[in-house]
Structure 1
Amino acid sequence: MANFWRAAGLGYDELRNSQALAWILDRFGDHGQGSAILERLVELAGRQQPIAVTPETVRRVDYSTRTESQPLGDRESRVDIEIESPRFLIFIEVKVRAPETSDQLKRYVELARQKAAGRPSVVVFLTPDGRLPVDGKLHGTIIPLSWRQVSNILTAYVSGERADSFSGRIFLQFAAHARTLAR
């Protein structure tokens, strides 16, 4: 079966995969699904460890989604996906094949805390296998997710009547692509 994402050349390119996922998570994305996928991602993250951002909060507020963000102008730190609203801040560090770099996640936790300025903040570490950060001190702070979990979120969301819609097909194709990134 043809897959739009394969044809677009996403492959294992971290930046392209981040941009595609950011579009899917963007409430203003022209996919027409609003915040539905981010709500489910936040719900899954909250099941892994308690967080102060809820699906209800995501549903009720406008938020912006950016890729390759440099929070607070920190040129050393480039967050793959930043999702920000007046009520929360989410950083998503995307890994496809690249390893975790030195203190990258530690910097992101600190940058999220600073930029959030009292708002709830969450740092998600999205990897092929949903691994924990190398730095054990970050366990319980960073939320590990896998590409398979992203695939499962999309597949569950699209099941039923949405499966035949254009955006439903695109989401299912991304879910199939995300499974190729999982280990």
Structure 2
Amino acid sequence: MAFFASGHEADESRIADLATEWRTLVAREQETRVTQVAAWETQLAEIRAEQEVLLREGRWVAGPDDLLTILGQSRQELHHSALLAWLLDPQGRHGFGSGFLEALLRRCTPDPPTAELNRARPALDVRKSKARADVVVAGPGLYLVIANKIDAREQPRQCDQLHESFGPEPGALFVFLSPSGRAPVTATGDAREAFKTMSYAELAGMLRDALARAPGKGATAHGREVASNYLATLEREFQ
């Protein structure tokens, strides 16, 4: 019995020691947590103070910075067609002259007409017979037809009708512009060969290159700003 009592007392003593150690560990952990929480709260207060300074100075910003995205129009074909026609206008105040038009033509044919590109003029929503072209750029020896598709489907026989209606024009060239640069599903036979594909990422690259060159004498600050802002839309939406 004395041996049993001695062993029991040893167990109780060991349990008491473990309980003391446990309470010490818990207390130490609580102190650490309190210290960490205090440090976090201090850091958070510093971050909030820095944010307040940035907010007051207008340097805490978010959201888009291109006009079409701000207006919720970044995938509207009509707006993109209008901007493309403007970029292709040699007299546009972007200051590219005929350089942007020539760059696009070189994607269509190895020997584009370049002698009188300054006389070329763009037009939107050009209709002939049953066909409607989103953008047409016409000039001496040039008749560039652009079909622009972003999210809408092609109409039945759309590209075939474009080729049939506009193909007889002197210097007729055809471009199918889309986000992926896919081939048009409504171009068959001769139209399939005539249509050159272009992606919006390629269009962005052309515009980036044009902006990197020195502006022409006809450039205005607003014109360059519009071109740069449109590039921001293309990079945000299609890259």
Fold in common (TM above 0.5): yes
**Residue among 124, 131, 134 paired with 1:80:** 134
Deviation readout 1:109-157 (Å, 9 max, x if unpaired): 111223x1xx211010001111112245333211110111000000112
| 1:57–1:87 Cα contact (<8 Å) kept | no
* Runs of 4 or more consecutive aligned structure 1 residues displaced over 4 Å after TM superposition: none
| Alignment partners' CA distance in 1, 2:82 and 2:179 | 17
Structure-to-structure mapping, 1:9-158, within 5 angstroms: 9-46=72-109, 50=110, 53-54=112-113, 56-57=114-115, 59=117, 61-71=118-128, 74=129, 76-114=130-168, 116=169, 119-134=170-185, 135-137=187-189, 138-158=191-211
The Cα shift of 1:167 comes to: 3.5
The Cα shift of 1:181 comes to: 4.5
The Cα shift of 1:166 comes to: 4.5
TM-score where L is the length of structure 1: 0.80
| Alignment partners' CA distance in 2, 1:125 and 1:154 | 17
Q: Residues 81 and 44 from structure 1, CA distance in 2 versus in 1: closer, same or farther, beyond 3 angstroms?
A: same
> What secondary structure is seen at the aligned counterpart in 2 of 1:144?
strand
The Cα shift of 1:92 comes to: 0.4
Residue identity matched to 1:182: F
Query: Matched residues, percent identical?
Result: 22
Q: Residues 2 and 88 from structure 1, CA distance in 2 versus in 1: closer, same or farther, beyond 3 angstroms?
A: same
Residue identity matched to 2:69: R
Deviation readout 1:73-93 (Å, 9 max, x if unpaired): x2x322100111131101100
Higher relative helix content:
2
Q: Residues 58 and 133 from structure 1, CA distance in 2 versus in 1: closer, same or farther, beyond 3 angstroms?
A: farther
| Alignment partners' CA distance in 2, 1:53 and 1:10 | 33
TM-score where L is the length of structure 2: 0.63
Equivalent pairs, count: 170
The Cα shift of 1:7 comes to: 4.0
Q: CA RMSD in A?
A: 2.4
Residue identity matched to 1:123: F
Q: Residues 130 and 25 from structure 1, CA distance in 2 versus in 1: closer, same or farther, beyond 3 angstroms?
A: same
| Alignment partners' CA distance in 2, 1:160 and 1:62 | 22
Q: Residues 9 and 25 from structure 1, CA distance in 2 versus in 1: closer, same or farther, beyond 3 angstroms?
A: farther
Residue identity matched to 1:70: R
| Alignment partners' CA distance in 2, 1:36 and 1:167 | 15
* 2:9 matched residue in structure 1: none
Gaps of at least 5 residues in structure 2 are 1-63, 216-220
* 2:28 matched residue in structure 1: none
* 1:177 matched residue in structure 2: 233
| 1:151–1:179 Cα contact (<8 Å) kept | yes
